[in-house]
Each structure stands twice: as C-alpha cells, then as structure tokens.
Amino acid sequence: MFLSFEGIDCCGKTTQAKLLVEKLQSVNNTVLFLREPGGTEISEQIRQILLNKKNLKMTQITELLLFSASRSQLVTEVIKPAIAKGTIVITDRFVDSTTAYQGYGRGLHHGGVKSISSIATSGLMPRKTFFIDIPVQEMYSRRLASHQEIDRMEMSNEDFYHRVREGYVELAKEEPGRIVTIDGRQPIDTIHETIWKEVDGMLHTVNE
C-alpha cells in the first residue's frame, strides 16, 4: 500500500502522516515514512539545493527537473522495493506537489509537467492521497507562530500560494477516488480519525 499526504505549507500534513504511521505500527504493520524532496542520500542533497535561499537564480525548469530527479531516485531506490516487500509506504508529498507547485503555482505547461512527472515516477501513483486543505491566510498565521526560518520555496508570494491551493482543489476534483480532501482547520484528533477510518477500511479490503 502506498499513501501520500499533500497540501500547502503549514497545513499539518506532516503531523497527520506521523500520527498515521504510529497508528499503523501500533496494529502491527511494517511502515516506511518518507519525505519529499528527500528520502535517499542523493534526494536529500537535491533537497538542499532546492530549498537553499542562496539559489535565487534557479530557473523554474531547473526547479521542476530537480524535484523530479529527487523523486525518481526515491521511487527506484526505496519506494518500489519497499512496496514489493509488502511494506506500507507513506510519503509527505509526492507527484501532486509538482503538479500544484510547479504546474499551477509557477505556471509551467501542464502537459510538460505531467510528462516529466510520469518519467520520474515510472507511472507509480499513491493508492490514496490525503489533501489537508487550509486557506492561504491560515498558512501565513501558522508560519508566523512557528518562528521558523523560511526557505527558498517559501519566499514565493501570496498569489503563488493561492494558485497552488487552487491546483490541489482541481486535482481533487479530477481524481475524487484517490484524493481525499480534509479541512485542515479541524482539531488534529478529528483529522486523524477521518484518515484512520479511510485507511482502516482499505486494510480490511486488502486483507479480505
């Protein structure tokens, strides 16, 4: 089983992914949790390049190719072998991030982004994706409260984030069977229960 978490920055997807990992482990599942970009030695190096604030000269195409390169390495080196062994793989972001951020956010040609993404994943898609949706203003409030230093991607302007969020909303409309939209303003426990209900149902289907 392969599951991913998506949403704009500060939506709470990492917290939810970790809660799901703990829950799955508590009922004796072997789970692998990965973040994107990252998850392999090479992909973590690519992450440094992508997020480094010094790299302001990075073109949008370079950005697209680097996110995709990082993903390609992760899919081949880690995700596919883990799925083959029966491990449940959970990723904090996957290919929908590229569609939303580089396609909708940066405004790159959607067909081109799709082709590059499908080369990077060799067609592998999550069985279920949890899109934790928050308004852009909520992202700014949470970012302010966290006092964390912003990275190169987070230097993008407000319009960019509106387009990214809209991208996720569109993707969820296109693939309602795979993408589950959850209101990220709900309490952490309520969101976790919604996700667990969905995943528990999937586990029962797999085991029947």
Interface residues toward ligand TMP, by CB under 6 A: 9, 35-37, 67, 93, 97-98, 101-102, 153-154
Nearer to ligand TMP, 23 or 35 (CB): 35
Q: How far apart are CA 143 and CA 147, in angstroms?
A: 7
In the sheet with 128-133, reading across from the earlier edge strand, the strands are 31-35, 88-92, 2-6, 128-133, 179-183
Structure-block tokens of residue 112: 């081109």
Residue number with CB closer to ligand TMP (113 or 199): 113
User: In the bound complex, what is the minimum distance in angstroms from residue 83's beta carbon to ligand TMP?
Assistant: 19
Closer to ligand TMP by CB, 97 or 129: give it.
97
Strand ranges for 114-162 from DSSP E: 128-133
Per DSSP bridges, beta strands 179-183 and 128-133 are: parallel
Residue with smaller CB distance to ligand TMP, 29 or 128: 128
Tell me the residue number closest to ligand TMP, measured at CB.
101
To the nearest whole angstrom, how small is the minimum distance from the Cβ of residue 10 to ligand TMP? Answer: 9
* Smallest distance, ligand TMP to C-beta of residue 95, A: 7
| CB 81, min distance to ligand TMP, A | 20
CA 170-7-46 angle, to 5 degrees, is: 110
* Beta-strand pair 31-35/2-6: unpaired
With residues binned 3-state (H G I as helix, E B as strand, rest as coil), the percentages for the chain, rounded to 5, are: 60, 10, 30
Q: Which is nearer to ligand TMP, 121 or 181 (CB)?
A: 121
Closest approach of ligand TMP to the CB of residue 73, in Å: 13
